Amino acid sequence: MAAGECILYPCYFNVAYSRTFGRRVPRSLAIKGPVLMDLERALKRSGITYRVEDHHHPAHWTRREGRIIAEWTESKEVLIRKVAQKLEVRK
């Protein structure tokens, strides 16, 4: 991974997960069952360059959700919050 990149996993934004299980945003910003496509849409809305990889979160290795590598030079927490604010609740 190059300098200025951050890894994002769908579990960071899952309202059903506790903080200890991998959620990284407040429940008010989390969504139900996030998938990579949700994160991709949020990153596109934010104008952030990214690439998708077929890797999994180490704690959730059986789920095989994939991950996103975003070009980002600020703190990872700022990126996570920015993406969370752009996520749309699916009906």
pLDDT bin (cut points 50, 70, 90) of residue 89 is low
pLDDT of 76 higher than 70: yes
pLDDT tens per residue, range 44-65:
999 999 999 999 888 877 788 8
Please state the domain extents for the chain.
5-86
pTM of the entire predicted model? 0.90
pLDDT tens per residue, range 15-26:
999 999 999 999
CATH topology of domain 5-86: Phenylalanyl-tRNA Synthetase; Chain B, domain 1 (3.30.56)
H/E stretch holding 81 = helix 76-86
Residues, the chain: 91
CA angle (27, 31, 81) in 5-degree steps: 65
| Closest to 66 (Cα-Cα) out of 48, 52, 50, 49 | 52
